[in-house]
Amino acid sequence: MLGHKNGAVRDMAQQLLIDGKRKDAIPYLRKAITDKTHPLLVIHAMWSLEGLSALESAEVLGLLKSDNYNIKVQALSIIPSVINATSSGYYITALKQLLKENDDLLAPYIA
């Protein structure tokens, strides 16, 4: 349902997963964020993992390399939720790499 064409359905599915503390969905969500054909599924799965306190830095760093602009923006937006002293160096490196792309649309999210 996280990949449903109707945004209300996607939002409700995400809300039910998080509010219901559905940790049993974590393996599915981890698989969903690797889907290259359904960006909305990836985005909702990522935010669901974040809401379940299960999102890992390695997953976010991978999503920052996505070819899909919307996934990349959402990955940038989620960094404050997952960054810590241990992972900060990896994020700095990833952000510097994104800056080298000279993408004017991504710049506000990197700043």
Per-residue pLDDT of 52-72, as tens digits, reads: 999 999 999 999 999 999 999
Query: How much is the pTM?
Result: 0.94
Q: Between vectors from CA 73 to CA 69 and to CA 79, what angle results, nearest 5°? A: 145
Mean of per-residue pLDDT scores for the chain: 96
HEC string of 64-107 equals: CCCCCHHHHHHHHHHHHHHCCCCCHHHHHHHHHHHHHCCCCCCH
Per-residue pLDDT of 27-39, as tens digits, reads: 999 999 999 999 9
With cut-offs at 50, 70 and 90, classify the pLDDT of residue 5.
very high
